[in-house]
Chains A and B, each alone.
Chain A
Amino acid sequence: MHSLKHILRRAFRSLWEHVYLNAMAAMVIAAALLLIGVYLTVQFNLNAIVDTWERDVHVSAYFHSDVPEARRFSLRDEIANRPEVASVHYVSESDARAWLVQRVNDLDPVLTELGDDALPASLEISLTSAQARPDAIAAFAASLDPSDFEDIDYGQEWIERFNAFLSLLQLLGAVLGSLVGLAALFLVANTIYLIVYSRKDELEVQKLVGATGTYIVAPFLIEGAAQGLLGAVLALVGLWGVHRVLVLRLQDALQLGVAGKLAFLPPPYQLLLAGLGILLGITAAFLSVRRFLMTAP
């Protein structure tokens, strides 16, 4: 049996002897992972935004104007006691008017013209985070009696559209990610094949003196893993640079405060990227050496 030390020694000797081609392979992997990393960052941040919105599930239930105040308070108390409700706040017609006037200048004369009940009274209901799913919110809204409430608004349509957009983005990401991955695999496999080809005579001799496929392939797999790891590190450094320079500036320019600061890829995603790089390098190396072994004498 060959010791791991022996295989590592052969792998690192080859890495050193073909440093230029190995660097090329690592750069190709880095480029592919950078694209995938950008996609993952966008995806991660959009998910975080949706998560924040969905955790803060808010329902506005607007009373019919003819519902008496006593009934409104009893409904408020009844809803407040429901387990799925985190808090309920009653907003009277005058509270609503005061809130709007405070935010929109010169609106007071218009609202005076329309009368005291220009804006309906409402219950501002916050649901618990367990109710964050769109179907649960819809079920809660449906449970409110239409004879009491004129309108119920919970931004359902918008959330559903955004979720649909995210699903589309995920699908697009999967397709583009696969294409980028395949293109990188093709390029890296051919780059590694150049290394294999430059060592053609040596590998042929190894075969002729009785080396097994494993003996020949193992150092190349380690070489591929090293290229993948280096590629992943380069991609993460690149991604960090893009995040710092571009994304943060964009954030400032557009004043994107909606979901807090746009985050860099969290460690699990970084590990995923490193794993992808290593897998890409190993697969490319395996395909290249196998191609050679199938044709060597």
Chain B
Amino acid sequence: MIRLYHVHKRYGDISALRDVNLRVAKGDFAYVTGPSGAGKSTMLKLLYGAEKPTEGKLLLGGVDVSKLSRRRLPALRRNMGIVFQDFKLINSRTVTDNIGLALEVIGTPRALIDRRVSAVLGIVGLRGRGQEYPATMSGGEQQRVAVARAIINDPSILLADEPTGNLDGGMAIEVMEILQSINLRGTTVLVATHDAGLMDRFPFRRLRFECGKLVKS
């Protein structure tokens, strides 16, 4: 599913990632972990094409993301879900509009969007909340909306960058349980986090980065 061969990422003189070699199989759940500045977010940015590696090869489902043109990037992203620490929800749109956006951009008919939104709201435990606005919801609920948006198009891979970073313990566990359930449906899940407690509670493979190097896989 995910293969990295000698991947380097440099910003000027600063090396964010150094000679990373990695393999994550389809359907795996893995943490990308390490201290701040270790390269966790950079690693995820490379995977969703926001950045390109300075050197090396990065395959995602057989596609070399490092050579992907900007024009072909949308097709890659339609097959993945992305969750951010700050949720990245559009506050002027309803929960339904936010979640449905991933289907709207590919021209899905409105009726089908509404049906799918209703289904994923059930998965993340927000049934009947579609007409609310994100700003009126708690942090945990907003993150669940973000997760719902990430899974609405049945992606084969879900990337989550510190998804519980802004949440208290109880809400963080709820979000992790949702991510775990999504993984059980066959979606490959990669979660960047430095929350050791959470990793202990939900024990999965850990990809530990330090100063840009993958030190434990």
Binding site for B on A (CB under 8 A): 1-3, 6, 17, 201-202, 204-213, 215, 297
A209–B148 Cα distance when bound, in Å, is 12
Interface segment out of the listed B71-79, B115-123, B169-177: B71-79
Instruction: Tell me whether A210 and B90 are in contact (CB under 8 A).
Output: no
Partner of A202, one of B75, B76, B90, B102: B90
- 9 closest A-B pairs (Cβ-Cβ)? A210-B78, A297-B50, A211-B105, A210-B77, A209-B102, A210-B74, A212-B74, A202-B90, A2-B107
Instruction: Tell me whether A215 and B90 are in contact (CB under 8 A).
Output: no
Partner of A205, one of B48, B101, B107: B101
Instruction: Tell me whether A209 and B71 are in contact (CB under 8 A).
Output: no
Instruction: Tell me whether B105 and A201 are in contact (CB under 8 A).
Output: no
Residue of A nearest to B146 (CB): A205
Residues in A neighbouring B101, C-beta threshold 8 A: 205-206, 209
A116–B12 Cα distance when bound, in Å, is 100
Count of chain B residues near A, Cβ 8 A:
23
Known A205-B88, A206-B101, A208-B82; contact A213-B71, beta-carbon cutoff 8 A: yes
CB B92 to nearest CB in A, in angstroms, measures 8
CB A154 to nearest CB in B, in angstroms, measures 65
Instruction: Tell me whether B90 and A209 are in contact (CB under 8 A).
Output: no
Known A210-B75, A210-B77; contact A204-B88, beta-carbon cutoff 8 A: yes
Binary contact track B76-112/A, C-beta < 8 Å → 1, others 0: 1110001000001110110000000110011100000
Residue of B nearest to A13 (CB): B92
Instruction: Tell me whether B107 and A208 are in contact (CB under 8 A).
Output: no
Residues in A neighbouring B107, C-beta threshold 8 A: 1-3, 6
Partner of A209, one of B45, B50, B51, B77: B77
A selection of 18 A-B contacts at a CB cut-off of 8 Å is A3-B107, A201-B88, A204-B88, A205-B88, A206-B101, A206-B105, A208-B48, A208-B77, A208-B88, A209-B102, A210-B75, A210-B76, A210-B102, A210-B106, A212-B105, A213-B70, A215-B105, A297-B45
CB A210 to nearest CB in B, in angstroms, measures 4
A205–B93 Cα distance when bound, in Å, is 12
Q: B213 contacts the other chain (Cβ, under 8 Å)?
A: no
Q: B40 contacts the other chain (Cβ, under 8 Å)?
A: no
Secondary structure of the A contact surface, majority rule: helix
Residues in B neighbouring A208, C-beta threshold 8 A: 48, 77, 82, 88
Instruction: Tell me whether B149 and A209 are in contact (CB under 8 A).
Output: yes
A297–B47 Cα distance when bound, in Å, is 12
Instruction: Tell me whether A211 and B74 are in contact (CB under 8 A).
Output: yes
CB A273 to nearest CB in B, in angstroms, measures 35
A278–B77 Cα distance when bound, in Å, is 34
Binary contact track B141-153/A, C-beta < 8 Å → 1, others 0: 0000000010000
CB A219 to nearest CB in B, in angstroms, measures 12
CB B169 to nearest CB in A, in angstroms, measures 28
Residues in A neighbouring B92, C-beta threshold 8 A: 17, 202
Most buried by B among A3, A205, A210, A297: A210
A111–B33 Cα distance when bound, in Å, is 114
CB A120 to nearest CB in B, in angstroms, measures 81
Residue of B nearest to A297 (CB): B50
Instruction: Tell me whether A205 and B90 are in contact (CB under 8 A).
Output: yes
CB A80 to nearest CB in B, in angstroms, measures 74
Residues in B neighbouring A206, C-beta threshold 8 A: 101, 105
Residues in A neighbouring B48, C-beta threshold 8 A: 208
A206-B101, A209-B102 given; 9 more Cβ-contact pairs under 8 Å: A3-B107, A201-B88, A201-B90, A205-B101, A207-B77, A209-B78, A209-B149, A210-B75, A210-B77
Most buried by A among B70, B74, B88, B92: B74
CB A150 to nearest CB in B, in angstroms, measures 79
Residue of B nearest to A209 (CB): B102
A210–B155 Cα distance when bound, in Å, is 12
Residues in B neighbouring A201, C-beta threshold 8 A: 88, 90
A212–B78 Cα distance when bound, in Å, is 10
Contacting residues of chain B (32-56) with chain A, CB-CB under 8 angstroms: 45, 48, 50-51
Residue of B nearest to A294 (CB): B70
Binary contact track B114-140/A, C-beta < 8 Å → 1, others 0: 000000000000000000000000000
Residues in B neighbouring A207, C-beta threshold 8 A: 74, 77
Residues in A neighbouring B75, C-beta threshold 8 A: 210
CB A203 to nearest CB in B, in angstroms, measures 10
Residues in B neighbouring A205, C-beta threshold 8 A: 88-90, 101
Residues in B neighbouring A6, C-beta threshold 8 A: 107
A2–B105 Cα distance when bound, in Å, is 8
